Structure 1
Amino acid sequence: MSAALGLLAVIVLTAATGYFVAQEFAYVAADRAALEQAAARGDASARRAAKVIGRLSFMLSGAQLGITMTTLVVGFIAKPALAGLIQPLLDAAGIPEGATGAIALAAGFVLATLIQMLLGELFPKNLALARAESLARALASSTLVYLTVAGPLIRLFDRAATRLLRTVGVEPVEELHSGATLEELGDIIGKSQSSGHLPADLSGLLDRALSFGDLTADEVMVPRPQVSTLPSTAPAADLVALIRETGHSAYPVYDGEVDDVIGVAGVREVADDALDPATPVGRIARPALLVPGSQPLYGVIERMRESGEEFACVVDEYGGLAGILTFEDVAEELVGEIADETDAREDAPTTGPDGSWLVDAGMRIDEVVRLTGLDLPEGDAYDTLGGLVMAELRRLPCPGDRLTVALDGASGHGEPDGASGHAELEVVSVARRVAEKIRIRTAAAPAPADRPEISDPPCAAPRPEEASWTR
């Protein structure tokens, strides 16, 4: 073969290698959903491209076969062809005749490698990644023809590779996974926000939506100590007074003990003008929707929809009343705190002058993480910030208790300036024997807990401290 003909063969084969490389990367990087949508609208090129992606594993095998064959042939032809072009130049330069052959072959190898890497590998790869969808459309027709013609050979190699995999205990996968896990979606949302492609508010909404499926009724409910209840023997006038006092629309009704919930009564039941104020609440109460605290939140929503009830009573593992759950509580898990005219006025969450946060002890750990960016440790024994403090103290808290906890790591929302691997928790006020307000500060290093010993006398009745802001 003449040097000129060999050079032409190298150019053609390098272009063929580039074709298969572009084919491989274009169909892997192309947006399958976008192509399928375009195909549904009648786009012929998108339909062909989607057909190729539908056989992605087979196409990749075909592309690898094409790359391997063209690369091997280029390696066989390129060195002698390029050496034949270089040797006359070496002879003209006066290099000894015995050395020109070896130098020409070495130079031919280097040139062939450069040509193959730049034009046959890197250029088509980068082009395919930059223009994946348009290139997938452009290559679709020729790719389908190639897969049809080379199909028997591709299947032969595929079957051989499958048998080799199975002999070493690996089950081959025919198609690439095209979906994303919840963790992967969370990473995508976080990176999109960091890069400025997603507004912070929308990112927070999507983040809460992703974690929604992990929530259970007892994590979202209003706990029993914060729930107003009525005995079944109370007159309807007491129910009206309770509605006026608290502003809520429904209340659990119990018979004998609070744990024995027999129904729910509220605005709906007292709306009748003919109702005698002396009528016992138990006679007008509607049946209560009872759900276990361990039930996933989406399951509770389904039961509320089926029953037409917007109010559910959450029952613990012992059959007692653990708390209540409303549609507003569910909505707040997606959009954040919802305040209406019946809610107490609270300042917007802000950091204090010293960079600390003052938060409700009843706030869930994941909510505190979202608010502060500090990845406080979670545990099976508690759900709230107050529960974390009590678990660390191993006793009931007292105002002024301080302890340092190690952070689990970056929260995914970025730690505040100056944040370290620890946080200091200070009990500011106590109500009903549990922490009411807790101040959070970043801490440079663990410090001994500044608190009374378990054997010390009980805390004195605490004075509530006005918070600079609350939940």
Structure 2
Amino acid sequence: MDADTLVNFLLVLFFVLLGGVFAGTEMALVSLRESQVRRMEKAGKHGARIASLAGNPNRFLSTVQIGVTLSGFFSAAYGASTLAPDVEPLLEAAGFGAAAEPVAFIGMTLLVAYLSLVLGELVPKRLAMQSAVGFSRVLAPPLHVLSNLMRPAVWVLSVSTDAVVRLFGGDPRATQESVGLEELRDMVAQSDTLEDESRDILTDVFGARNRSLQEVMRPRTEVAFIDGGLTVAEARELARNGPFSRYPVTGRSPDEVLGFVHIRDLMPGNGTDDTAPVRTIVREILPLPGTNKVMPTLSRMRRLGHHIALVVDEYGGTDGIVTLEDLVEELVGEIYDEYDAGTDHEDSVTVGDGSVDVDGGLILQEFESACGFALPEGQYETVAGFMMDRLGRLPHVGDRVEALGHVLTVTAMDRLRIARIRVTPTPT
């Protein structure tokens, strides 16, 4: 191989690699997430220029395509037509005869095409996808300078592109679709960089987005109310034996909630008359409709400084109560203290002999986590509500309902409430 052939080959390789630089820069800028662009923009002037380029796809795409086109043109110019004559004598000596010329030309064309695909497209784009930020920091500044030098050509291409995009019904100002909630949920589930605990918390946050207070509240049948007619001393004795720090105070019925008292309000020595009715020391309780969602309610209670809220139904009656701790637990899981053991429905799940024994108060999402299958949705929030809906009457111990290859059996009642349910697979 003489010097001219080597120079021609090196020129071809140079222009192929130059095209790869443009292709890699394009892929890096396209692959940047919006959060990455914002971080670089705040990092200084260098990052701000990169963000400016990434935010103007017409500008960087036009510049990249000009660079790719010119690189391809020059690699072709120094490609088959210049290298083939140098290869032709070797093929003639190998016995190709008159076919040496077309074989050399086709062979060099295929070689240049192969190098262009691998070194000029696939490899740089793959590397740029794996390290979009690093490639952008290194390659975007030269592209920024080149786009300024080629501003007239970039402007012509940008105007032409906008016109054609409008012709096809597109928006020239749009960059890329924003990430949807379901896509974000999938990204969290599939991420290898998140720890299991972090992934679980984020998954719970997504689930809490659509969950209402009716699903997370403590129903009125399980709320420890204090009669407003009791004296402070009598209320103190009731609260002393209870596991809670705040108690709703009622008037004539649980539907007439006057407010709530904190256990500190009942302690002697704070200036309160022990013989005074407890209704005289109640604090205001925040009323909220049961249809409110968990996340907005959590934000509102934190903003107002409320730790307990009254959940009311559409008729203004008491549905139950919800605490700030209840809402936080929807995001981070159960928060236990010395009084919590065995008091939550989701704590009351036992497994044995292929069956699962659950509390009737489990909401449908908790039931799915405990039993591995989802019950059909309906006008109910709990597994007990599902059974009453299917039975069409008040249940009794021993009542059975079949659902999705399983049998749900009432094993215990608490007056009119289903206390325990055993879930067993349907015999095959």
TM-score bracket relative to the smaller structure: 0.7 to 0.9
Contact 1:6 1:81 in 2 (8 A): yes
* TM-fit CA distance, 1:362: 1.5
Contact 1:4 1:81 in 2 (8 A): no
Distance 1:35 1:9, change over 3 A: same
Secondary structure of the residue aligned to 2:412 is strand
Larger deviation, residues 422-431 vs 10-19: 422-431
Distance 1:13 1:404, change over 3 A: farther
CA distance in 1, matches of 2:349, 2:358: 10
CA distance in 1, matches of 2:36, 2:221: 52
* Alignment-derived partner of residue 301 in structure 1: 298
* Alignment-derived partner of residue 115 in structure 2: 115
The amino acid across from 2:258 in the alignment is I
Alignment of 1:212-227 (within 5 A): 212-227=208-223
Contact 2:342 2:348 in 1 (8 A): no
Contact 2:19 2:71 in 1 (8 A): yes
* Alignment-derived partner of residue 163 in structure 2: 163
Contact 1:3 1:84 in 2 (8 A): no
Alignment of 1:416-455 (within 5 A): 422-441=405-424
The amino acid across from 1:59 in the alignment is F
The amino acid across from 1:366 in the alignment is Q
CA distance in 2, matches of 1:109, 1:396: 83
* Alignment-derived partner of residue 266 in structure 2: 270
CA distance in 2, matches of 1:389, 1:139: 64
The amino acid across from 2:383 in the alignment is L
Distance 1:152 1:426, change over 3 A: farther
CA distance in 2, matches of 1:349, 1:203: 25
Give per-residue Cα distances to partners, 1:386-413, cap 9 Å, x unaligned.
Answer: 233334444433433444434xxxxxxx
TM-score (norm 1): 0.77
* Alignment-derived partner of residue 379 in structure 1: 377
* Alignment-derived partner of residue 86 in structure 1: 87
CA distance in 2, matches of 1:278, 1:146: 86
Distance 1:363 1:198, change over 3 A: same
Distance 1:256 1:187, change over 3 A: same
1:67 counterpart = 2:68: yes
* Alignment-derived partner of residue 416 in structure 1: none
Q: How many residues align?
A: 422
Contact 1:239 1:266 in 2 (8 A): no
* TM-fit CA distance, 1:314: 0.8
The percentage of counterpart residues that share the same residue type is 31
CA distance in 1, matches of 2:35, 2:300: 34
Distance 1:164 1:34, change over 3 A: closer
* TM-fit CA distance, 1:310: 1.9
Contact 1:361 1:384 in 2 (8 A): yes
Secondary structure of the residue aligned to 1:142 is helix
Secondary structure of the residue aligned to 2:397 is coil
TM-score (norm 2): 0.84
* TM-fit CA distance, 1:20: 0.7
* Alignment-derived partner of residue 403 in structure 2: 405
Secondary structure of the residue aligned to 1:246 is coil
* TM-fit CA distance, 1:120: 1.1
Contact 2:37 2:54 in 1 (8 A): no
* Alignment-derived partner of residue 150 in structure 1: 150
Contact 2:213 2:292 in 1 (8 A): yes
Alignment of 1:129-278 (within 5 A): 129-177=129-177, 180-192=179-191, 195=192, 197-273=193-269, 275-278=272-275
* TM-fit CA distance, 1:326: 1.4
Distance 1:309 1:107, change over 3 A: closer
Higher helix share: 2
Distance 1:269 1:10, change over 3 A: same
* TM-fit CA distance, 1:203: 2.3
1:14 counterpart = 2:16: yes
* TM-fit CA distance, 1:8: 4.7
* TM-fit CA distance, 1:313: 0.8
Secondary structure of the residue aligned to 2:265 is helix
* TM-fit CA distance, 1:154: 2.6
* TM-fit CA distance, 1:164: 2.1
Q: What stretches of structure 1 of length at least 5 have no aligned partner?
A: 407-421, 446-471
Larger deviation, residues 343-352 vs 21-30: 343-352
Secondary structure of the residue aligned to 2:329 is helix
Distance 1:383 1:68, change over 3 A: farther
Distance 1:141 1:337, change over 3 A: closer
Secondary structure of the residue aligned to 1:352 is strand
Give per-residue Cα distances to partners, 1:193-251, cap 9 Å, x unaligned.
Answer: xx4x4333332223223333333322221111111224433333442232133232333
* Alignment-derived partner of residue 457 in structure 1: none
CA distance in 1, matches of 2:164, 2:234: 79
CA distance in 2, matches of 1:18, 1:384: 59
1:319 counterpart = 2:327: no
CA distance in 2, matches of 1:396, 1:156: 76
* TM-fit CA distance, 1:131: 4.0
